[in-house]
Structure 1
């Protein structure tokens, strides 16, 4: 005889089989005919995000913030500042001297040297020597520079602290020892992801999937407008059976095309929190945190540099292999975190008066995806 509890358990198992997203990473999966979240025949499949590039007029100021935020200086010339994390890799942040602060593009790591030739043939680009390796320079449909590199020498690993031992439940691992994490600059391990806003979301999304072989982990749509397709995507590298970060790139539809933030991995929660206290004491502008995201699950804390560019410390993010299909959920301000303070206007950008000007300009431009229903949907999402 089947009991009520066993029937409930069986139904729960059945629901999970029919809809793995319910207990995995999103509310639902795709509906019939929705975007599949991957290309059927991409030109290449990049292996990761190598570094991000900026231009700034004051490299001394940039270096002060960078070292306070947790980067180590890999090299410094009068015109270029190379910043790195603790793990063995290339420099993860490149800042060149320029007339005004601006994002200058993302650089992806090719899986093989032949992929650069394939990219060049498929895009009309050229393979050129670059920092001891080779690169192809591209531009996405939003206008952002995108480089793909191979063979750039790695910097050796630097010493870094291990995660703190934590006492859980009945089996403590730390006896006769206190926990006193130091309040000092973070020890950034590596670059995790970059987030970009665009008025041409669908064209840019398909370009990254078709050209670089990235695949979608999660889609967010405007509530009440799912039939319009997604308005945000969290996109990861396709490494086959090897788990990859939940997102290497995230993109969202918005009234202006811009860099939103880049994120850098720390050892654990204490490192995120203690280094945040250090930044606060140094007078830097806090944007949002601490909290834990829903899409990606990472513990986060967001800060702005002296030029108001946003950078994220994070720890404990999700990783998926290529079998995980995209989840779908409505975009909302309250849906950005599992716990933590409400997302601030400083983080969402809604306090910036330039948003209104950008929205008017985007509505007049017929070559993008911003129309009145989309604008209303975005306003609703950021206030819900």
Structure 2
């Protein structure tokens, strides 16, 4: 129907906005706006905010908002879906269309009236490379401070209706596939994870803006935010650790997307990622295919933790599995066995 240009922001609910703001500042966000019932967070790059946290009864992810470069896309999308173009309460103002994806996530497509201005950011440290010294006569001392967020990178979602959700994002928002993953021995049944990027023609963009994977539940997995470099990731991680936050997995370098990564849990156990140095693809890069496995998640780094993989059984997870196996979705017994094997391979 249209081709979105990027993620705009992510929407969350939390019961305690003061505690949410403390973590957000420690993680490296800047507050763009704060009211009694909502908190807008941004990075240092010019553009839209990264996230909005609204006051609610529980801590939960609501859904993503995607940005369109052309205001006319909203009218075209509204006509095609039977929706309405409405005002959006983003700082600076904007208009948007509210949709619902096949998994049940509210998805907002927006066009912002004004961009937030650029803020001062962290400078990358000059590095000496063998015979190419770029730093002489001075010591390297990265500050122990929050890894200042530059921008929102991507969000990862779990869904029982993987095929329908994948088709919806391709057809409705114009996303394209960078990489497919499949369960070992089940490639003939198609993919079970897809890394999707925006199609901006010859302009190279993030390897993935959205990733979807098949699972027994429907929900948020993690969101990722770009920082300056590896030192920002590491020093920012030390800062978070000193303040009592819990690392989920890291530091390492991914395979699909190539990002340097470090995953953390906020006080309500939602997972967020610091990343740097990710792949950038134009529209002409064909999708890759690879088997899904734990060892296939990283080129180097510590082994993926059970916390990151969600591999520890819980009553809630057991209920999700039972419900999924009884329902009309993409998860059957063979797929479930493939998922379990992938988590331990």
1:148 equivalent to 2:106? Answer no
- 2:43 is the counterpart of 1:95: no
In structure 2, the residue matched to 1:121 is 79
Take 2:128 and 2:138, find their aligned partners in 1: how far apart are those partners? 11
Q: Secondary structure at the match of 1:149?
A: strand
Is 1:263 aligned with 2:224? yes
TM-score using structure 1 length:
0.88
CA RMSD of aligned residues (A): 0.8
1:68 has 2:26 as partner:
yes
> 302-311 vs 346-355, which deviates more?
346-355
- Following superposition, the deviation at residue 158 of structure 1 comes to 0.7
Matches within 5 A, 1:188-199: 188-199=149-160
Match of 1:51 in 2: 9
Instruction: Name the CA distance, whole Å, in 2 between partners of 1:250 and 1:355.
Output: 21
Q: Aligned partners of 1:293, 1:352: CA distance in 2, in Å? A: 25
SS of the residue aligned with 1:350? coil
Aligned pair 1:363/2:321, yes or no? Answer: no
Matched, 1:178 2:136: no
Does the alignment pair 1:242 with 2:203? yes
- Matched with 1:14 is none
1:1-384 alignment, distance < 5 Å: 43-131=1-89, 132-353=93-314, 354-365=316-327, 367-384=328-345
Unaligned runs of 5+ in 2: none
Deviation at 1:364, TM superposition (A): 1.2
Q: Matches of 2:164 and 2:174 in 1, distance apart?
A: 15
Aligned length: 341
Q: Which blocks of at least 5 consecutive residues in structure 1 are unaligned?
A: 1-42
User: Alpha-carbon deviations, 1:107-155, whole Å to 9, x = none?
Assistant: 0001201111111111111111223221000010000010000133211
Native 8 Å contact 2:264 2:273 kept in 1? yes
Are 1:86 and 1:159, in contact at CA under 8 Å, matched by a contact in 2?
A: yes
The normalised TM-score by structure 2 is: 0.98
How big is each residue's C-alpha offset from its partner over 1:178-219, in whole Å with a ceiling of 9 and x where there is no partner? Answer: 111011111100000000000000000000000000000000
Deviation of the 1:356 alpha carbon:
2.1
Matched-pair contact (CA < 8 Å) for 1:90–1:152: no
Is the Cα contact below 8 Å between 2:48 and 2:112 reproduced in 1? no
The question of whether the paired residues in 2 share the 8 Å contact of 1:130 and 1:152 is answered with no
Cα separation, 2, equivalents of 1:133 and 1:184: 33
